[in-house]
Amino acid sequence: MLSVYLLRHGETQYNADGNRYCGRTDIPLTDKGIAQAQAVRLQLQGRKLDAVYSSPLKRANETAKIASGNNLVIADQRLIEIDFGTWEGKRREEFVAENPTLWNNWSEDPAHAAAGGTGENATQVVERVGSFFAEMQQKYKEGTILVVGHNGINRLFMAHKLGMPLKNYRRIVQHNSSLTFFQLDENGEFTLEKLNTTS
């Protein structure tokens, strides 16, 4: 059974600035984001991790290094945030006002609608993240790993594994640098044990 500590990166300026959509924009953590990652390090103290993985983007990779106390973080492209297309760098109210149809399409059927009209759809996200975790199951059959990703990909993956319609992924909350813990058995069955824990 693979055990996974799943983390969303710490706060960035985009998070602080009205939650601008930050897909592939490669920005660092704020001072608050660094402090959040340091708090996770205290949570993980004394827990054995077989490996630490992160998205290649700075905000996730930096969080992973601080939270694990380990600079040997393996960046994996499959953990990168959703490509948000034309929504990148904008607040939701801004891009909905510009083109409400794009948001309606995504809200109703993200499995097939491209985010921001030119980005990824949710099926593509779930497939690439699922591919990562399937590989981890084989590599660490009875292991424990820390994975630092992003709000969008983490929620879509969990919604899929919990059997939820992908359009309901926003009903799962992922706070910055709050630990989620789940297990995947040899058949890929997903058991969510903790969500957004800070203790």
For 110-161, the pLDDT digits (tens) are: 999 999 999 999 999 999 999 999 999 999 999 999 999 999 999 999 999 9
For residue 195, with 0-12 CB atoms within 10 Å meaning exposed, 13-18 middle and 19 or more buried, which class applies? middle
Q: What is the mean pLDDT of the chain?
A: 96
79: which 2 tokens?
Answer: 């953990």
Residue 198, pLDDT > 90, answer no
Of 131, 127, 123, 180, give the one whose Cα is nearest residue 151.
Answer: 180
Domains of the chain (ranges; CATH) run 2-197 (3.40.50.1240)
- How confident is the model at residue 164, as a pLDDT? 97
- How confident is the model at residue 61, as a pLDDT? 98
This prediction's pTM:
0.96
196: which 2 tokens?
Answer: 């957004």
Gap between the Cα atoms of 152 and 75, Å rounded: 18
pLDDT band, residue 25 (cuts 50/70/90): very high
Of 8, 5, 3, give the one whose Cα is nearest residue 172.
Answer: 8
Asked if 125 and 83 count as a contact pair (C-beta separation under 8 A), the reply is no
Compute the average pLDDT of residues 167-193: 95
- How confident is the model at residue 18, as a pLDDT? 86
Residue 13, pLDDT > 80, answer yes
Which amino acids are annotated catalytic? 9, 150
Gap between the Cα atoms of 112 and 105, Å rounded: 9
